[in-house]
Amino acid sequence: DTAVSQTPKYLVTQMGNDKSIKCEQNLGHDTMYWYKQDSKKFLKIMFSYNNKELIINETVPNRFSPKSPDKAHLNLHINSLELGDSAVYFCASSQGAGGPRNEQFFGPGTRLTVL
């Protein structure tokens, strides 16, 4: 049983294109996150949603737009892709936010390569 799943696993695209990554969790968690891990392996939060409501929006370009149709799904749409967007994007979920409820479980990641 996959707890946090992401599609696609790999995404190769040209600069300027628009792409989406989908995430689903079957853990019954209330909070979901998007992280970016760059080539130096530094993992940085981009967004978090709690029960479909945007909670955290780090300094991410407007070209990135998350959407949460329900608390089990969190998608990430990226417009006008740039070379610097190449990274691995991880979705994660937790029971809630704050303290022990913030134990986060990660999806397998989506490796995005922008040419």
Report how far residue 90's alpha carbon sits from residue 34's, in angstroms, rounded to the nearest whole number. Answer: 6
Torsion sign over Cα 36, 40, 4, 49: negative
CB of 16 to another protein, least distance (A): 28
CB of 80 to another protein, least distance (A): 27
Residues that bind another protein (CB under 8 A): 33, 40-45, 48, 50, 55-56, 90, 96-100, 102-109
Nearer to another protein, 33 or 75 (CB): 33
Nearer to another protein, 14 or 39 (CB): 39
Report how far residue 46's alpha carbon sits from residue 54's, in angstroms, rounded to the nearest whole number. Answer: 11
CB of 51 to another protein, least distance (A): 9
Q: Please, are residues 87 and 112 in contact by the beta-carbon 8 Å criterion?
A: yes
